[in-house]
Structure 1
Amino acid sequence: MSIIEALIFGIVQGITEFLPISSTAHIVITQILLGYQFPGFGFEIYLHFASILAVMIYFRKDLIEVIRGFFNYFTNRSSYNRTQFYFGVYIIVATGITGVLGMLLEGFIGASLKTPPFIAIALAVTGLFLIIIERFVRYGKRTERDMTFKDSILVGLGQTLAVIPGISRSGATLVTALFAGLSRETAVRYSFLLSIPVILGSSVLALGDFTEGTLVAEVGVVALLVSFIATFIFSWLGIIWLIEFLKKSKLVYFAIYCFVAAIFVYFFLDNSLIIEL
């Protein structure tokens, strides 16, 4: 992989990972446009790890609060510790649902779901649900203190849909969390923190590539370093931008983008291609 390709992949991954526009779809589109096929799962998960590192550092105070409150609750049943304890439990529940169902559904995702036409349809579906949640569902006001197991189950089920190429993980979690009646701020925070265990768990799939040296041999040390740094930086910028954007603007703009991307993928990419994700 050339340095320019590594930089492009890092920028694309970083910008799209946490926006509700499907990073997987954009990585696939970038591979097609550059004519470069990833050597297995390793490189994509490697980039995801850079993104998740940005989340962990950016939300370090939130993480510490949840972890500290979770364990302190066993000895101090204060209202604050109770909120943090159950918020941690809700993250675990949603992660467990996504993990189990994701592994079960992975085997049913055949080659027909890995083609540009299907990815275009999935992008359009993402856009459609963003419009529905923005235009037809009133935002709730419930915070972490008011969350229930039902919320975590719904979000876990929604997040599971992201195993389908073109369905945005962040979009799915945001939509289901808002549909469940959570406030926009709580939904965004829950979505970001929920991404940590999900992506870290999927990173286990790449261990073979690292231990066998396949990833280093195929991509190159310098390209790996460049792509990691680029992904980290642009993931950080993406997090900041999304949080600020949602304070002032609407999800419908992401929906419009998804529709435009879907049209591009459907009409301008080779529909006979089957992408190995």
Structure 2
Amino acid sequence: MTYIEAIIFGIVQGITEFLPISSTAHIIITEHLLGYHFPGLTFEIYLHLASVLAVIIYFRKDLINVVTGFFAYLINKSANHRTQFMFGIYILIATIITGTLGIVLKGVIQDAMKTPTFIGVSLMITGTFLIIIERFRQYGERRIENMTYLDSIIVGLGQTLAVLPGISRSGSTLVTGLWVGLSRDTAVRYSFLLAIPVILGSSVLVIGDLSNEMWSVIGLGPLIVSFVVTFIFSWIGIVWLIDFLKRSKLIYFAIYCFTVAILLILFMDPNVVMDI
């Protein structure tokens, strides 16, 4: 892999990771365009680690509050820390659901699913749910202190759908969070913090797949560059998305998903291209 290609992969992963447009889909599209094929999810998970590092640093105050509040409530049962304790519980519940179902579904997700048509259809599904939540569902007003166990279960189940290439993790957690009546700010914060244990857990599952072949094919230098670039653009993506959702609508991401899906099926699917 050249350094230019490493930068391209880093930009694509960083910008798309936290937008509701599926970073996995865009990485696979980039692989097709650049003529690469990375078996399994090892390289994607590697880049995801850079993205989660950006989340950890950006939301460090929130993380510290949740962690300290969680253990303070365990020790002292102080009412002042109950909200953060319960928020930590809700993060754990959604993570356990996603992790458990993810392990079960791991054997089902094959490279055969990384086709332009499959990804295109998945992007359309993502876009459809973004439209539904934007047009046919009023935003709720419930904040962290008003969350329930059922909220975390539903969001955890929604997040599990992101194991399918083309289904956005951030999109699925945002949509399900808004669907159960969380405020936009709460749904966004919950979505970002859920990314941390899910991505770190996914990394543990594939750590055995890291091989000398990956390091030799990609190269140490390009791997470092792609990681740094991913971190930088993930940070930019976080800041931009939070600002965007304060003043605009999810419908624009839905339009983007449908546009990319149609272009994928028309110009990258071998069967469609041959017919044309």
Both proteins in one fold, TM over 0.5: yes
What is the distance in 2 between the residues matched to 1:232 and 1:206? 20
Aligned-pair CA distance for 1:39 = 5.1
**4+ residue runs of structure 1 moved beyond 6 angstroms?**
none
Q: 1:10 touches 1:47 (CA, 8 Å); kept in 2?
A: yes
What is the distance in 2 between the residues matched to 1:82 and 1:189? 18
Aligned-pair CA distance for 1:31 = 0.3
1:93 aligned to 2:93? yes
**C-alpha offsets along residues 32-70 of structure 1, whole Å, 9 cap, x if unaligned?**
001011254322111000000000000000000000000
**Match of 1:107?**
107
Aligned-pair CA distance for 1:110 = 4.8
Q: 1:66 touches 1:84 (CA, 8 Å); kept in 2?
A: yes
Return 5+ residue gaps in structure 2 as ranges: none
Cα distance change, pair 17–265 in 1 and its aligned pair in 2 (3 A): same
The two structures have a TM-score, normalised by structure 1, of: 0.94
Cα distance change, pair 109–209 in 1 and its aligned pair in 2 (3 A): closer
Q: 2:158 touches 2:176 (CA, 8 Å); kept in 1?
A: yes
TM alignment of 1:46-195, pairs within 5 A: 46-110=46-110, 113-195=113-195
CA RMSD, 1 decimal: 1.5
Cα distance change, pair 258–189 in 1 and its aligned pair in 2 (3 A): same
Identity among equivalent positions (%) equals 66
1:249 aligned to 2:248? yes
SS where residue 19 of structure 2 aligns? coil
Aligned-pair CA distance for 1:104 = 1.4
What is the distance in 2 between the residues matched to 1:162 and 1:272? 26
- Matched letter for residue 200 of structure 2: L
Q: 2:15 touches 2:233 (CA, 8 Å); kept in 1?
A: yes
What is the distance in 2 between the residues matched to 1:60 and 1:10? 23
**Match of 1:214?**
213
1:238 aligned to 2:237? yes
Select between 117-126 and 77-86 the one with higher mean Cα deviation: 77-86
Cα distance change, pair 40–200 in 1 and its aligned pair in 2 (3 A): same
Q: 2:39 touches 2:111 (CA, 8 Å); kept in 1?
A: no
Return 5+ residue gaps in structure 1 as ranges: none
Q: 1:54 touches 1:232 (CA, 8 Å); kept in 2?
A: yes
SS where residue 76 of structure 2 aligns? coil
Aligned residue pairs total 272
Aligned-pair CA distance for 1:264 = 0.9
Q: 2:117 touches 2:269 (CA, 8 Å); kept in 1?
A: no
Q: 1:46 touches 1:206 (CA, 8 Å); kept in 2?
A: no
SS where residue 139 of structure 1 aligns? coil
